[in-house]
Structure 1
Amino acid sequence: MSENWFYQAGGKARASTLDGLIGLMRNGLIDSHTPVWQEGFANWKPLGEALPEIAGSGAAVPPPHMPPVDRPARLPHEDPFRSESVTAAASPALPKLAVEDDGWQDTSPHPWRRYFARMIDITVFSASVGLLLGSVLATVAPALHEKIFYDMIGDNRAADAIFSTLIVVPVLALLTGLFGTSLGKFFMGVRLTLLDGRPIGVPAAFGREFSVYFRGLGLGIPLVVLLTLVSSHNRLKTDGVAPWDRDRPWVVTYRPDGAVQVLLVITGLVIWAAVFGFILTL
Structure 2
Amino acid sequence: MTNTYPQALTIAGSDSDGSAGMQADLHTFFARNVYGASVITACVAGNSYGIHASIPMPTDFIDQEFQDLADDYHIRAAKTGMLADSELINDVVRNYQQADFGPLVVDPVIMTKHGNQLLEESAFETLRTKLLPLATVLTPNFYEVEKIAEITIHSDADMVAATQKMQTMGAKNIIAKGSHAIANQTVVRDFVLLESGESFWLSQPYHDTDRVNGTGDSLSACITAELAKGTPMKQAIALAKAFVNTAIGNPIEVGHKFGPINHWAAQRASYDQL
**TM-score of the two chains, using structure 1 as the length reference:** 0.28
Rg comparison, structure with higher value: 1
Which one has a larger percent strand, Structure 1 or Structure 2? 2
